[in-house]
Amino acid sequence: MFKACPLSQLVPGEALRLDTSPPIAVFHTEEGELFAIDDTCTHQDASLADGWVEGCEVECPLHASRFDLRTGAVDAPPAKLPVRTHGVSVVDGDIMITESGEVPNLPPGLTIDGHR
Ligand code: FES
């Protein structure tokens, strides 16, 4: 478990890209829920933290596949594989992330440390 940022720095409706390997996106929805998923789309190298959130889904900014923030599942091509979801909790006012132990579904050409 590691600290993402103080909860007060991530207002509802905002997302934060963490410089982890691979990067993790933390979302604070308009409804006040917190989610963490892998930041990189499974189709190509796009940052989901830059996508559009509606309800419990984020739309990839490049080709509009939508990922479920709760499960990581993708709704429609071009992305075919889900992203990982990570545990999120708030401890003493800080957003804490528990990274998934699963192998990430990175897009073709990307490796776990982000180098091609
Ligand atoms: S890069 Fe995300 S759908 Fe293509």
User: pLDDT by residue (tens digit) across 51-80?
Assistant: 999 999 999 999 999 999 999 999 999 999
Q: Which CATH class name applies to 2-98?
A: mainly beta
Q: In the prediction, which pLDDT does 113 show?
A: 67
Q: In the prediction, which pLDDT does 112 show?
A: 76
Best residue among 62, 83, 106, 110 to mutate for probing ligand 1, ranked by most atoms within 8 Å of CB: 62
Tell whether pTM > 0.75. yes
Best residue among 38, 40, 44 to mutate for probing ligand 1, ranked by most atoms within 8 Å of CB: 44
pLDDT tens digits for range 28-41: 999 999 999 999 99
Sequence-ordered list of residues with C-beta below 8 angstroms from that of 91, at least 6 positions apart, any chain: none
DSSP string, 36-92: EEESB-SSSS-BGGGSEEETTEEE-TTT--EEETTT--B-STT--SPPPEEEEEEET
Please state, for a pLDDT cut of 70, what percent of the chain lies above it. Answer: 97
Name the residue ranges covered by the structural domains of the chain: 2-98
Q: Is the pLDDT of residue 115 over 70?
A: no
